[in-house]
């Protein structure tokens, strides 16, 4: 199978991450940093306008959570319909990509399901919802597609790749939670600051080899 066929289910922006996971030479932290680059681009493609919807949903659900005595009798089907109506109106107004709309609905209904079943949701719901939304993008655009892709490869150990995805996913979760906290507070994506290594000067005949040893 050609490389092009192997990557047919994974977008180009995620292909570098995919190859690094399959190679198995990179540590989990560096792969998590790598993952945040295409993830942020996907978030931007789906539109910052969805952030306002996530905020509205979180405020509504936070109000419901603040009335624990009424949770049992609450009309949760009404909340599901509220999400659908909100998404439909947003799609009509802003022509947002359907993919982003679907992931917004999935994250919102997922949080509703947790509250409905009495699951503990730590912290404020706004950050939790943003985190679920971002994680949904990561899983649907990368993790799930990798699993589909490796099923057609005979040159790699599927079990090892799944294990690596799980390990990397823990580190990615930490970064997603940090990103969700930032976006929940600022209402927008903040430009990421990547560490840039200091460029090394060219070595000349006049350089002292002992000094070079301290720099390299």
Note the pLDDT tens digit of each residue in 134-187: 999 999 999 999 998 888 777 888 999 999 999 999 999 999 999 999 999 999
How high is the pLDDT of residue 190? Answer: 82
Cα 119 to Cα 18, 57, 112, 136, distances in angstroms: 34, 18, 10, 19
Dist CA 175 CA 192 (whole Å)? 12
Instruction: Choose between 3 and 192: higher pLDDT.
Output: 192
Angle ∠(137,174,103) on CA atoms, nearest 5:
15
118 in a structural domain: yes
Q: What is the pTM of this model?
A: 0.84
pLDDT band, residue 8 (cuts 50/70/90): low
Residue with tokens 């720099």: 215
The answer to whether residue 4 scores a pLDDT higher than 60 is no
pLDDT attached to residue 72 = 79
- 76 falls within a domain: yes
- Counting every residue written for the chain, the total comes to 216
In whole angstroms, how large is the CA radius of gyration of the chain? 22
Let me know if residue 13 belongs to a domain. Answer: yes
Q: Is residue 194 part of a domain?
A: no
How many structural domains does the chain have?
1
Which residues, in sequence order, are CB contacts of 52 under 8 Å at separation 6+? Answer: 187
Q: Is 171 a member of any domain?
A: yes
Contact 43, 191 (CB under 8 A): no
Measure the CA–CA gap between 211 and 216, rounded to whole angstroms. Answer: 9
Query: What distance in Å separates the CA atoms of residue 187 and residue 180, rounded to the nearest whole number?
Result: 10
Is position 196 within any domain? no
Picking from 26-35, 69-78, 103-112, 176-185, which range would have the lowest pLDDT averaged per residue?
69-78
197 is a domain residue: no
Q: Is the pLDDT of residue 71 over 70?
A: yes
How high is the pLDDT of residue 73?
Answer: 84
Is the pLDDT at 7 greater than 90? The verdict is no
- The verdict on residue 214 lying in a domain is no
Contact 115, 64 (CB under 8 A): yes
Instruction: Please tell me the distance from the alpha carbon of residue 50 to that of residue 100, in angstroms, as a whole number.
Output: 8
Q: What is the pLDDT of residue 207?
A: 46
Mean pLDDT across the stretch 33-62?
A: 96
Domain that holds residue 126: 7-186
pLDDT in tens, 172-204: 999 999 999 999 999 999 877 654 434 344 344
Q: Would you state the pLDDT for residue 142?
A: 97
* Per-residue tokens: 74: 């609450």
Give the pLDDT confidence of 84-141 residue by residue, as tens digits: 999 999 999 988 899 999 999 999 999 999 999 989 888 899 999 999 999 999 999 9
């Amino acid at each position: 199978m050609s490389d092009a066929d192997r990557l047919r289910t994974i977008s180009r922006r995620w292909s570098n991450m995919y190859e690094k996971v399959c190679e198995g030479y990179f540590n989990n932290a560096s792969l998590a940093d790598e993952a945040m680059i295409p993830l942020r681009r996907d978030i931007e493609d789906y539109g910052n306008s969805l952030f306002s919807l996530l905020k509205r949903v979180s405020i509504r659900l936070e109000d419901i959570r603040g009335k624990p005595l009424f949770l049992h009798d609450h009309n949760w089907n009404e909340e599901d319909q509220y999400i659908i109506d909100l998404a439909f109106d947003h799609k009509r107004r802003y022509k947002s990509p359907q993919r982003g709309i679907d992931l917004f609905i999935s994250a919102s209904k997922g949080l509703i399901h947790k509250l409905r079943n009495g699951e503990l949701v730590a912290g404020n719901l706004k950050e939790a919802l943003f985190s679920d939304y971002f994680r949904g993008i990561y899983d649907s655009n990368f993790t799930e597609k990798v699993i589909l892709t490796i099923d057609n490869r005979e040159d790699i150990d599927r079990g090892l790749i799944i294990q690596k995805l799980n390990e990397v996913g823990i580190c990615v979760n930490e970064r997603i939670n940090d990103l969700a906290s930032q976006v929940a507070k600022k209402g927008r994506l903040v430009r990421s600051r990547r560490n840039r290594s200091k460029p090394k000067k060219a070595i000349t005949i006049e350089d002292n080899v002992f000094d070079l040893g301290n720099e390299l």
